[in-house]
Amino acid sequence: MSNTQYLLTPRPKPNLISLVVPLYNEEEVVSLLFKRLQDLLGQLPCQAQVVMVNDGSSDATIVKLRDIAQADRRFEVLSLARNFGHQLAATAGLDAARGDAIVLMDADLQDPPELVLDMLVEYEKGYDVVYAQRLQRTGESIFKRASAWLFYRLMRALIYKDLPVDTGDYRLVSRRFLDALNHMRETHRFLRGMVAWVGFPQTAVPFVRPPRAAGETKYPLTKMLRFAWTAAISFSPLPLQASFFVGSIFFGIGFVYSLYALAQWLLGAYLVPGWTSVILVTSLGTGGVMILIGVLGEYVARIYEEIKGRPLYVISDKFNAPPGDGN
């Protein structure tokens, strides 16, 4: 994390804590989640608001969330008009949070709700961000653990040096921090990087990540790669710089071969039309240009998306939640 020095000012327990939980096709885990959250609410030293965001699920998730809202008015449900993606669903929940302290967690119970009690201890010490840092990931394949380990370290080394390693979106933030974060309304969001960028005193609560309670992961390899790409181009010009480097290599190969051909001609060597070499240089050069255009196009496309000024999400239904439009 940042080397900035902070003066920690102890604060009282929050009057209200908001728990934000995005869900997408989690019908198998909703009942288990509801029970665990109810148990947690009984242990909290303050009032609680639970914001559950249905991210356009195609299964019975919304039906079960509606039943939960009818059974317990502390649970507010926002249903998005379609699947906007985890980061925007999380943003919708954070926008609706009214607490002095706000917790963002996943629905699969790999983020143990009971850890919130430890987070509150650090919050009362004066920290504005308390993130859950994984010591171990149980119930996951070697490939999943290795790719996650590599992702965070590459992001920290190449993209954003203050990004905490082995840390997902599970964290508690203060109201003043969330107010600052909510000023960042970019369409393509990488909340972990945005939280690190905002600053304020931050600390970690270590935990051993349990296996998923039910259902299947909503982040297969393809989604993980897209998420990594969004994270990279949202926080760094490095892909542009890398494409320039790759293009320079292709140009260098073509330049060296041109010198070789020129030397052959000056020495009067017999020159046979080199189909292979021509194809090689042409392919490399064309490939380099296409890579450069493609990476540049990604940045231009995202600028295009930003300047449209569209709302980040659209809410179709609410239960127990106050009126208001999503944005």
pLDDT tens, 100-140? 999 999 988 888 999 999 999 999 999 999 998 887 666 56
Q: Which two tokens stand for residue 56?
A: 């356009």
Domain range annotation of the chain: 16-220+311-319, 238-307
pLDDT value for 169 = 85
Q: Which residue has the tokens 């890579």?
A: 291
Q: Which two tokens stand for residue 181?
A: 């974060």
* Alpha helices by DSSP H, the chain: 30-43, 61-71, 86-96, 115-125, 142-154, 175-181, 191-198, 221-235, 238-266, 275-307
Which residues have CB under 8 Å from 230's CB, separation 6+?
Answer: 188, 190
As a whole number, mean pLDDT of residues 90-101 equals 94
pLDDT value for 244 = 67
Pairwise CA distance, residues 213 & 210, whole Å: 8
Provide the percentage of residues in the chain whose pLDDT is more than 70.
Answer: 68
pLDDT over 70 at 52, yes or no = yes
Which residues have CB under 8 Å from 74's CB, separation 6+?
Answer: 41, 48, 49, 50
pLDDT over 90 at 253, yes or no = no
Q: Which two tokens stand for residue 160?
A: 């954003």
Please, which residues bridge with residue 102 across strands? 18, 173
Residues 180-205 pLDDT 10s: 999 988 888 888 888 888 889 999 99
For 16-220+311-319, the fitting CATH number among 3.40.1130.10, 1.10.10.1150, 3.90.550.10, 3.30.300.30 is 3.90.550.10
Which sign, positive or negative, has the C-alpha torsion 102, 214, 87, 57? negative
Q: Which phi and psi (to 5°) does residue 103 adopt?
A: -120, 130
With bands split at pLDDT 50, 70 and 90, how would you rate the model's confidence at 78? very high
> Model pTM?
0.72
Contact 198, 185 (CB under 8 A): no
Among the listed residues 19, 78, 87, the one whose alpha carbon sits nearest the alpha carbon of residue 47: 19
Amino acid sitting at position 300: V
Please, which residues bridge with residue 53 across strands? 22, 78
Amino acid sitting at position 188: H
Amino acid sitting at position 291: I
Highest mean pLDDT among 6-15, 156-165, 265-274: 6-15
CA triple 96-102-107, angle to 5 deg: 80
As a whole number, mean pLDDT of residues 218-242 equals 65
Q: Which phi and psi (to 5°) does residue 21 adopt?
A: -130, 105
What is the 8-class DSSP label of residue 14?
A: P
